[in-house]
Amino acid sequence: MTALVSLVGAGPGDPDLLTRRALDRLAAADLVLNDALVPTELLALAPRARRCFVGKRAGRHAIDQATINALLVRVGRRGQRVVRLKCGDPFVLGRGGEEGVALAAAGVPFEVVPGISSALAAPALAGIPVTHRGLATGFTVVSGHAEEAYRPVVMAVRPGATIDLTPPWPRRRIVELIAERTGETVSVHDPVERLREVCDRLGVAYEDWWGSGKLVYTIFDKQVEDTLGHDRPMFAFEYPAEVSPLAKPSPGDAENTDRFELFIGGKELANGYSELNDPVRQRAMFEMEVAAAEHGDDEAARTVDEDYLRALEFGLPPTGGLGVGIDRLAMLLSGQPSIREVILFPTLRPEQAGEDDPDAADPDGTAEPGQA
């Protein structure tokens, strides 16, 4: 008689999180075929079983999937009790479906013993619900990998649009992109008067106190950014120093910096640069920021960070920084046009002043207690 093959989910690896059925199947197993991420503590729960490691790592497979399928069929037909122990849940990104199809085709009865998927365990550990009434009615589980020497990978962003994620991604200077998109040749070394004329021709608004670097960046921001990364991701680099106060200047060009941004689908997803570690230049950049804030620039620093400058005076080795916009990445992967759709707990206020708004009756906060 053909024995039952159990496709068992090991969950995130904690024995306390296994189901009772999973514990029963492990205790009775003659053979356990385990994945790479299954800890030894779980294997110890099958004391009488022989073990066969069939784990896979990126580019290093102990055994291919077709062979695993054939092994499950062969051992199941021998009348042995087999446990295919898979991390997480066997039917969530675990190829359990492929193994179930192979067993069914061979007439070998099997069962699926669910486990806690990391897609649920990780956010639960962080205290983040994957759904929340009134905020999020669903969630998406996404897996990414490259096969066959980076064969073309295409990801849907919105109906009728795709982006080819195959590396390497193109890299272009922002002044080159400005020239391509607008037909205007500009440089941070151009006189301010000429760059203002370019802005006027393109309909780009500017402030009288802006320097050449800020003008070049604004042209890029208003005329170019939303055109980038719709077919393939693109790196834009060599940003003006005037808008990059923490970035190291480019070799041989103090008006530009070693800074880049990644654009996908017309949105900036990452910002990176070589850290400025010259305290004298950093002080000058901070002072430029303070001056910009006095002119009304809301994004500029309003004070000189003396503690940071003092630390730089002691020394900072060559350092690079990278920031990835997780909210924008979530927008891209879920195809959402608004950031409101991907922020789990946005700041909410009543749509109309009423009993739920404590400031509605006394907006100035001048009423005595009990009068509002």
pLDDT at 272: 96
**In the prediction, which pLDDT does 333 show?**
77
In the chain, CATH 3.40.1010.10 covers 5-122
Name residues whose C-beta falls within 8 Å of residue 206's C-beta, 6 or more positions apart in sequence. 196, 199, 214, 215, 218
What share of the chain has pLDDT > 90, as a percent? 55
Could you tell me the pLDDT band of residue 354, with boundaries at 50, 70 and 90?
low
How distant, in Å, are the alpha carbons of 25, 35, 79, 82, 278 from that of 2?
16, 24, 5, 11, 73
CATH architecture of 5-122: 3-Layer(aba) Sandwich (3.40)
Residue 309 has pLDDT above 70, yes or no: yes
How large is the average pLDDT for residues 307-320?
A: 92
Q: Which CATH number fits domain 154-277+317-341: 3.40.190.10, 3.30.930.10, 3.40.50.150, 3.90.1150.10?
A: 3.30.930.10
- 290 Cβ neighbours under 8 A, 6+ residues apart: 300, 301, 302, 303, 304
Average pLDDT in the 292-319 region?
91
Q: What is the pLDDT of residue 58?
A: 59
CB 88 within 8 A of CB 116: yes
**What pLDDT, in 10s, does the model give residues 250-302?**
999 999 999 999 999 888 999 999 999 999 999 999 999 999 999 988 888 88
**What is the model's pLDDT at position 352?**
64
Q: What is the pLDDT of residues 151-181, one digit of tens each?
A: 444 554 555 567 888 888 999 999 999 999 9
* CATH code 3.30.930.10 region(s) in the chain: 154-277+317-341
pLDDT of 159 = 54
Instruction: Pick 62 or 312 by higher pLDDT.
Output: 312
| CA geometry: angle 247, 248, 250, nearest 5 deg | 120
**pLDDT at position 60:** 64
pLDDT at 369: 42
Query: Per-residue pLDDT tens for 52-80?
Result: 998 876 556 668 889 999 999 999 888 88
Question: pTM for the complete prediction?
Answer: 0.56
Q: What is the pLDDT of residues 71-121, one digit of tens each?
A: 999 998 888 899 999 989 998 887 899 999 999 999 999 999 999 998 888
- Report whether the peptide linkage leading into residue 358 is cis, meaning its omega lies within 30 degrees of zero: no
Instruction: Decide if pLDDT at 358 tops 60.
Output: no
pLDDT at position 55 is 83
Which of 28-32, 74-78, 134-138, 165-169 has maximum average pLDDT? 28-32
- Residue 245 and residue 257: Cα distance in Å, rounded? 9
pLDDT score for 372: 40
